[in-house]
A and B are shown apart, each in its own frame.
Chain A
């Protein structure tokens, strides 16, 4: 089963995402509330995927994605935000992330379509 780390400062979203993804067959192996703890968690827990919010309290999701990309895959990073993709323009593609899913369109199917994980 595919393991996933959720990095988001909104506790409500983390809970909903966890329920949704677990119901869809993912294993949520951790949650982080900001960029720094997210980075540490990703390096220690080594998840297959990181669901990474763009707007974090300490940094932007793009920066975290860039750091993780330097480490080399996996994990694959999927960026998310309650804004739509067009609000970020070319920064999404240059961040090294696998892709972007607006929060309201989050589903196991959407993640699988992006990452081709089982």
Chain B
């Protein structure tokens, strides 16, 4: 594979050629015109040389690593020497003949080297070299027998070596036969290449191979017609066909180049498509489209069975070398991920399969990372729910401890004081009586405060009687008038009930503290598997979830059980808080 070389000298040479080529082209055409060539010939020469030079320069600029562009330019430049053959200067005519022959040989090389930019097999190399030697020597031999005076021209050929007209004619015939043999060789190679090529390969070859075949056949017809002195009209037609086919070859190279570029942009599409992590079957289709190879298949590495498997999970045998299929392996950190089984012709564009492989590797990597993140997210969600549940358990335990400990002692103290007062009787010391009353009041307020504290930590009524009664008890204690509409008396999991309870508790506390409301409404509704809690007031509105620590904490608590909080609080328009809590399957115990 050619290395990418965009050296400064290469670029300088290309720019120089860009400037020089039009000048040389004009010079070449001018020479033809001066020598009174027909306008058709001038036009054809201009088109053919121009096509080679322009497309060659374009290919050179776009794919500097591929030799095709430079060889196309060289082919065009050598072809510029063709008009020299039309002049009356034998030395220049010789240069023209050599130039034209070299141009033909270069064209043959180009066609066989397409699309790689260099010859791939030894057969090709030997054939091109042998053709070059044969054509050059045959043409030179013919030239050395050419006597201008014999055809009525008014100058001598200083290179005239074969003076015998019979021998000279034989040299010309030999040169034409050599041409025919070489052309048959080309046709054979074309036919073999086409027959062996798969679909995508034919797609690659066709823009060049098609005009090349026409050209070769046209030259052959023309040469055969010259051999047998065929009719002039036919020879002219063959000549024009030959010229047009020659002009179409560089266009074919250009189309081939564009197809490669189109394939590259198909990879951009592929990257986008793979970004959406398609299903394996869709992935195969996307890769096949991007690479233009419908026969493409993908095998995934399965560590479980230590082998490549198909989309259906069945083990897949990878094709052996020389089986007509190529395999591109995808690896990450030395571990196989997948294998792409495709037409070997795709390897002719070295970047193509590699880009597709990178795109796919990226996608597989993305998928893996995404799965990892999802797994981690799942773990975080679970642990958050566990933390909240553990917190609830801990609050329950603290409430229980308060109940069993301090609360019992205070109850006992109150009863003891009441008994003491009873024992003291109505006739007892009024001062003792007073201080017993005082102590009793203290103990009872201590007990009331303790109960308030315990309820804040964990509402016993929630465990005892469920959400509805717990909400009603919150409403009863609120300083604002609260209406309660219970849409369900079901019992839910402790986590759901606790979350719902604290939403109502926090919301009603805010109503009392900030809302300046006169009335509030608490509504519950249970539909299928979601509990909705709504707390609305007629206060000043303007509540923001981010500002107060309370609402923020509620959001956290709700999201721990996959619930969410919605706050609608336009300034002056009251506040409406909606909590949506997924309940899963409820514990179907009526409250």
Contact = CB atoms under 8 A, between A and B. Distances in A.
User: Do these two chains interact?
Assistant: yes
Interface of A: 10, 12-13, 16-17, 19-20, 23-24, 82-84, 86-91, 103-104, 106-107
A86 B407 contact: no
B133 interface: no
Interface stretch (B172-180, B266-274, B326-334, B418-426): B418-426
Interface of B: 403, 407-408, 410-412, 414-416, 418-419, 422-423, 443-444, 447, 451, 455, 459-461, 464-465, 469-470, 472-473, 476-477
Contact of A104 (B403, B414, B464): B414
B476 A88 contact: no
Contacts of B403: 82-83
Contacts of A24: 422
A86 B447 CA distance: 14
A89 B419 contact: no
Nearest to A106: B415
Contact of B416 (A16, A88, A90): A16
B-side binding surface: helix, strand, loop or mixed? helix
B465 A90 contact: yes
22 contacts: A10-B408, A12-B412, A13-B411, A13-B412, A17-B415, A20-B422, A82-B407, A82-B411, A86-B473, A87-B455, A87-B459, A88-B465, A89-B461, A89-B464, A89-B469, A89-B473, A91-B464, A104-B411, A104-B414, A104-B447, A106-B415, A106-B418
A84 B423 contact: no
B419 A23 contact: yes
Contact of B410 (A16, A90, A91, A104): A104
Contacts of A10: 408
Most buried by B among A12, A83, A87: A87
A22 to B, nearest CB: 10
B422 A23 contact: yes
A20 B419 contact: yes
Contacts of A12: 408, 412
A90 B447 CA distance: 23
B412 A88 contact: no
Contacts of B422: 20, 23-24
A12 B461 CA distance: 26
A83 B470 CA distance: 15
A12 B415 CA distance: 11
A104 to B, nearest CB: 4
Contacts of B476: 86
B489 to A, nearest CB: 10
The list of the 4 closest CB pairs from A to B, nearest first, reads A89-B469, A89-B465, A104-B414, A87-B460
B239 to A, nearest CB: 109
A95 B469 CA distance: 15
Most buried by B among A10, A89, A91: A89
B188 to A, nearest CB: 100
A57 to B, nearest CB: 13
Nearest to B444: A104
Contacts of A19: 419
A103 B451 contact: no
A103 B451 CA distance: 13
